[in-house]
Amino acid sequence: MRTTRAVPLLLATLLAATACGAQVERSTAETVTVPRCAQPVPYRAPERAVAYEAGSADKLFALGLGEKVRGYVMPPANPPVEESPWAADYAATEKLSTDLLNRELVVDAGADLVVAGWRSGFSDERGITPELLDRLGIGSFMHTETCWNYPGFPERVAPLEGLYEDMHRLGAIFRVPERADDVVAGMQARVAAVTDAAPRLDPPPSVFLYDSGTDRPNTAGNQVPPNDIITLAGGRNVLDDVDGRWTDVGWETVVERQPEIIMILDYGDQSAEQKIDYLTSLPQLRSVPAIANRNFFVLDYNEGISGPRNIDGLERFGAYLREFRR
- What length does the chain have? 326
With beta carbons less than 8 A apart as the criterion, state whether 165 and 22 touch: yes
Give residue 283's pLDDT: 97
Q: Which are the contacts of 208, defined by CB distance < 8 A and separation ≥ 6? A: 219, 237, 238, 239, 254, 257, 259, 261, 262, 263, 290
Find out if CATH 3.40.50.2300 is the number for domain 9-191: no
Of the two residues 73 and 17, the one the predictor is more confident about is: 73
Q: What are the extents of the domains in the chain?
A: 9-191, 200-323
9-191 and 200-323 agree in CATH topology: yes
Bridge partners of 49, per DSSP, are 69, 113
Give residue 326's pLDDT: 86
Classify 96 as helix, strand or coil: strand
140-188 pLDDT, tens digit each: 999 999 999 899 999 999 999 999 999 999 999 999 999 999 999 999 9
pLDDT of residue 44 exceeding 80, the answer is yes
Task: Give exposure, 247-280, as e/b (b: 16+ Cβ within 10 Å).
Answer: bebebebbbeeebbbbbbbbbeeeebeebbeebb
Predicted structure pTM score: 0.90
Element holding 218 (H helix, E strand):
strand 218-220
Find out if CATH 3.40.50.1980 is the number for domain 200-323: yes
Rounded mean pLDDT, 31-43: 97
Of the two residues 100 and 13, the one the predictor is more confident about is: 100
